Amino acid sequence: MSVLRAEIMDTAVVPPADRWPFFLDMSFRASAPMAMSSDHVSDFRATSRLVDLGGLQLVRFRYQSLTGQRTPRLIRQADPELYQVALTVSGASAISAQRRDTTMSRSDFTLVDWGRPHRLEHRSLHGGQELAASLTVGIPRTLLPLHPDRVDRLAAARMSGTEGPGALLAMHLHHITRYPEQFQATDAPRLADVTLSLVATLFAHHLDAEHDLPPDIRQLATLAQVHAFIDRHLSDPALTPQAVAEAHHISLRTLHRLFEPDQETVAASIRRRRLARCRRDLADPLLRHHPVHRIGRRWGFTDPAHFSRAFRAAYGMSPQAYRALPSAPRPPDGPPEPPGR
């Protein structure tokens, strides 16, 4: 079964004189043409990773300072009817649109409407040592379950990516673009649904319109919040389905209903993630001096015998045997996560 793949672009693969047009071609395909300029066009350094989820495109950019102008003439030539949610990852960014001028620093989101004039600026910092970087998700306007007039209020607005729905969306986008190989290609539609739900929830939060979201959007967003909570508390032995439900102010029955599409119980999800962390630590040479039972306790297994049985059931060998494998590769943070996790 094929895994989800990223399309990689690096201007270093072409001669210096061709790097700027090479970057422009890639960036225009990810959104729409702009009148762009840079002080580094003679030898432009940039990389990108594009993950196509079908209806949505996620792109991770890293580049030298540049500016771009989306003009009325360019819009008349081609309106992609596209919103782009952009997260500043490093450097500094600024946008001017809808009579609003906004600056963004690291971990700030903004909304770009490619069907309206705007100006973008991305600056590297520290004399170019810290390149500008951003993470974007392109969304067709028709897919957002909010009225366009309301969404327009957020154009060029600054939205935090470190708290509330913004933090959850940022974590989700970072994980997919960093580790697309942890997902199957068939996961793309589900990942697109979760991404759209998190974007819609972020917008609704800033518009005070959470109750206007369709039930399925709210359910997917809640599920994503639950998965993030579980990941943050795996080391706590008291992490149980009941504790998860109480933390999210929902009933245990509602929590179990959220997990039904994944065909995995809440308890099984917690156990699988804990075991994946244990397996990762057992393969880490830097943790060789830690006893096996301590690694189990580190991830919530207080009973060494139970930990050993659970590990054997999951991976076909005891924790000690796994650690003793001479060429066991260090696994990623966990097995491929079902969409939404």
Whats the size of the chain, residue-wise? 341
Q: How many helices (H) and strands (E) does the chain have?
A: 12, 12
Q: What is the pLDDT of residue 30?
A: 81
Q: What is the mean pLDDT of residues 178-189?
A: 91
| pTM exceeding 0.85 | no
Cα torsion angle, 284, 286, 289, 291, sign: negative
Ramachandran angles phi, psi of 33, nearest 5°: -60, 145
Q: What is the pLDDT of residue 339?
A: 43
pLDDT digit string, tens, across residues 224-264: 889 989 999 999 999 999 999 999 999 999 999 999 888 89
**Which single residue is written with the structure tokens 């639950």?**
226
| pLDDT at residue 143 greater than cutoff 70 | yes
Q: What is the pLDDT of residue 167?
A: 94
Closest by CA to 229, choosing from 196, 263, 189, 270, is 270
Per CATH, which fold does 7-186 belong to?
Jelly Rolls (2.60.120)
Q: What is the pLDDT of residue 330?
A: 53
Count CB neighbours of 104 within 10 A.
24
Strands 82-90 and 46-52 turn out to be unpaired
299: which 2 tokens? 């991830």
Mean pLDDT of the chain, nearest integer:
91
CA–CA dist 5, 45 (Å, integer): 23
Q: What is the pLDDT of residue 1?
A: 65
Q: What is the pLDDT of residue 331?
A: 55
Q: What stretch of H or E contains 41?
A: none
Q: What is the pLDDT of residue 278?
A: 96
Instruction: List the beta strands (DSSP E) in the chain.
Output: 7-10, 35-37, 46-52, 57-63, 66-70, 82-90, 92-97, 100-104, 108-113, 118-123, 132-140, 159-160
Based on the number of CB atoms within 10 Å of its own CB, is 73 exposed (0-12), middle (13-18) or buried (19 or more)?
A: exposed
Q: What is the pLDDT of residue 336?
A: 41
| pLDDT at residue 334 greater than cutoff 70 | no
pLDDT bucket at 338, cuts 50 / 70 / 90: very low
Closest by CA to 132, choosing from 207, 234, 226, 63, is 63
Q: Please report, for the chain, the start and end positions of each structural domain, with discontinuous segments joined by +.
A: 7-186, 228-324
CA–CA dist 170, 161 (Å, integer): 6
pLDDT bucket at 2, cuts 50 / 70 / 90: confident
| pLDDT at residue 340 greater than cutoff 70 | no
Per CATH, which fold does 228-324 belong to?
Arc Repressor Mutant, subunit A (1.10.10)
| pLDDT at residue 173 greater than cutoff 90 | yes
Closest by CA to 28, choosing from 72, 85, 68, is 68
Based on the number of CB atoms within 10 Å of its own CB, is 162 exposed (0-12), middle (13-18) or buried (19 or more)?
A: exposed
Q: What is the pLDDT of residue 98?
A: 87
% of the chain beyond a pLDDT of 90: 80
Closest by CA to 58, choosing from 7, 1, 120, 115, is 7
Ramachandran angles phi, psi of 37, nearest 5°: -145, 160
